[in-house]
Structure 1
Amino acid sequence: MELIADALLFDLDGTLVDSLPAVIRSWTAWAAERGISEARFASIQTHGRTSRSIVADLVPADEVDAADARIQELELADLTGVTALPGAAELLARLDPARWAVVTSGVRRLAAARLAAAGLPAPRVLVSADDVRHGKPDPEPYLAGAAGLGVAPRRCVVVEDAPAGLTAARAAGMATVAVAGTHRPEELKADLVLPNLAHLSVTGTSRLVLGAA
């Protein structure tokens, strides 16, 4: 199957970078500080959501601000082992910087830090949790990414690893490519499902043609 696009919008964690070990360490420490059991934490959906929305499921409303600030502090302090996922660096190096953006559920400082730690280029357009009112699975983040690049949503392809992000992309009217790293392929509803970005073929310059490599 081939997809045609004028621009690519990439999720960050689990798509371009492997930050899972650092994420697990940070959230485990945060949960221990708050006295939240492993079973309680495991009972909620976390991947692809903003830290604030996760925190809001776990602490009283009047403690959300402080609790969210603390998890951000822990995550920013732990970049050990954050690396580029297979094919990510090579793909971004081939793309025109005006043709791609990063759209993440993380805050801007954390996204920039993880991109740098993984040795990946900073995008011209970065949409973070700081930039939108509603995070994934709402379409707002991906619509903001398209607007930042000046490309119509229907001319964008989203590359994601999480169901919440794929739902956001579909709601934004965008085609989707899923990479099966953090979820099993059968959990990912996308136009094209691949093991990782090393298996994604992108040809062309202003008109991008995507398919399985």
Structure 2
Amino acid sequence: MLFDMDGTLVDSEKLWGIALEELAVRAGGKLSEEARLAMVGTSMPVSMAIFRDDMGQPDRPSAPDVDWIHDRVTELFAEGLVWRPGARELLLAVREAGLPTALVTSTARRLAEVALKTLGAENFDVLVCGDEVRRAKPDPEPYLTAAGLLGVPIAECVAIEDSPSGVASAVAAGARVLAVPSDVELPSHDGILLRESLAGVDVPFLAAMFS
């Protein structure tokens, strides 16, 4: 099992939105809704490129903004994360069933480790973070890396995602994909199973994705 984190297991995209809106104010502007939605599920370099373009500041240094965002989101994560509907129940059921499980996130490890205080580090055999891969989502590398570390063929894995970038990564890797949109709508297309939420999803449901 391969789980995305932000917007899939926990309702953290709103916290990223708060931090990015605050950063926009610090930059002397206002973040557009279009830019924020375009950032969902992307790597930090891509998000910051979208941010600079939206601010009309193409030469704005990225490193100070990345540091500020990481510090602010760490504070927001530490205040507590809210589970997405059905996510906690599914994760616990997967672990009870003894299935190898990975967290595959575009978020940096320092932030993922804060989130694990809510998610439970014991619920994952492998953690693949956005700052630990050469090519982030939508490239297939994060999911291929996770499957390799688990020692499970990617074709035998289910990836659960909420963003276009994450879905594209998992599909390109060759996983079975369960897509549960949060902030951004996902079009239905071949190669993914689309649901409104993880409520009611259990291990037999996941097994049926291979039949």
Q: How many residues align?
A: 201
Asked if structure 1 preserves the Cα contact closer than 8 Å seen for 2:21 and 2:30, the reply is: no
Asked if structure 1 preserves the Cα contact closer than 8 Å seen for 2:180 and 2:196, the reply is: yes
Q: Which residue in 2 is equivalent to 1:86? A: 85
Asked if structure 1 preserves the Cα contact closer than 8 Å seen for 2:163 and 2:186, the reply is: no
1:155 aligns with 2:153: no
Change (3 A) 1:185 1:49: closer
Change (3 A) 1:191 1:95: same
Q: What is the TM-score with the length of structure 2 in the denominator?
A: 0.83
Asked if structure 2 preserves the Cα contact closer than 8 Å seen for 1:9 and 1:102, the reply is: yes
Unmatched 5+ stretches in structure 1: 1-7
The separation in 1 between residues aligned to 2:17 and 2:80, in whole angstroms, is 12
The separation in 2 between residues aligned to 1:32 and 1:158, in whole angstroms, is 36
Q: What is the TM-score with the length of structure 1 in the denominator?
A: 0.83
Change (3 A) 1:34 1:122: farther
The offset of 1:183, in angstroms, is 2.7
Bigger Cα displacement from structure 2, 125-134 vs 78-87:
78-87
- Any residues of structure 2 matched to 1:137-156 within 5 Å, and which? 137-156=138-157
More helix by share: 2
The separation in 2 between residues aligned to 1:38 and 1:187, in whole angstroms, is 29
Q: Which residue in 2 is equivalent to 1:202? A: 203
Q: Which residue in 1 is equivalent to 2:8? A: 15
Unmatched 5+ stretches in structure 2: none
- Any residues of structure 2 matched to 1:1-213 within 5 Å, and which? 8-39=1-32, 42=35, 45-57=38-50, 58=52, 60=58, 63-79=61-77, 80=79, 82-96=81-95, 99-117=100-118, 121-186=122-187, 190-203=191-204, 209-210=207-208
Q: Secondary structure at the match of 2:194?
A: strand
The offset of 1:203, in angstroms, is 2.7
The separation in 1 between residues aligned to 2:72 and 2:197, in whole angstroms, is 28
Cα RMSD for the two superposed structures: 2.6
Using CA pairs below 8 Å that are at least 6 residues apart, which structure has the higher relative contact order? 1
The offset of 1:118, in angstroms, is 5.4
The separation in 1 between residues aligned to 2:69 and 2:197, in whole angstroms, is 28
The offset of 1:66, in angstroms, is 1.9
1:32 partner letter:
V
Question: Segments of 4+ in structure 1 off by > 4 A?
Answer: 59-62, 118-122, 187-190
Change (3 A) 1:77 1:41: farther
